[in-house]
Amino acid sequence: MDHPMIREMETWGYPKEYEHRHVFTDDFGNEVYKGDEYFEMDDHRYLIEAISDDAFIILERHGADRRMA
């Protein structure tokens, strides 16, 4: 018989009590979790892994702040 926490880790990859919850949702509706990088500019936030390379370059060139959640 497995310990319930071991069963949870095998099922979800982490114990249920440590369930990851998103910190906020960016302007495109992407959930941002602790440790994710995002750009912030004029009170707008964009998850870096969800934007195109072109958008990344444009935001960087126009002075968006690169932050970590």
pLDDT at 43 over 90: yes
- Tell me, yes or no, whether 26 lies in a domain: yes
| Close Cβ partners of 52 (under 8 Å, ≥ 6 residues apart) | none
HSE of 67, CA atoms in CB hemisphere, 13 A: 15
Structural domain for 40, as ranges: 21-68
- Tell me, yes or no, whether 53 lies in a domain: yes
| Structural domains in the chain (count) | 1
- Tell me, yes or no, whether 8 lies in a domain: no
- Tell me, yes or no, whether 3 lies in a domain: no
Torsion, Cα 55 22 16 6, to 10 degrees, reads 30
- For residues 21 and 24, the model is more confident at 24
Average pLDDT of the chain is: 87
- Tell me, yes or no, whether 63 lies in a domain: yes
Say whether 60 sits in a helix, a strand or coil: helix
- For residues 17 and 41, the model is more confident at 41
- Tell me, yes or no, whether 54 lies in a domain: yes
- Tell me, yes or no, whether 61 lies in a domain: yes
Question: Where residue 46 falls among pLDDT bands split at 50, 70, 90?
Answer: very high
- Tell me, yes or no, whether 7 lies in a domain: no
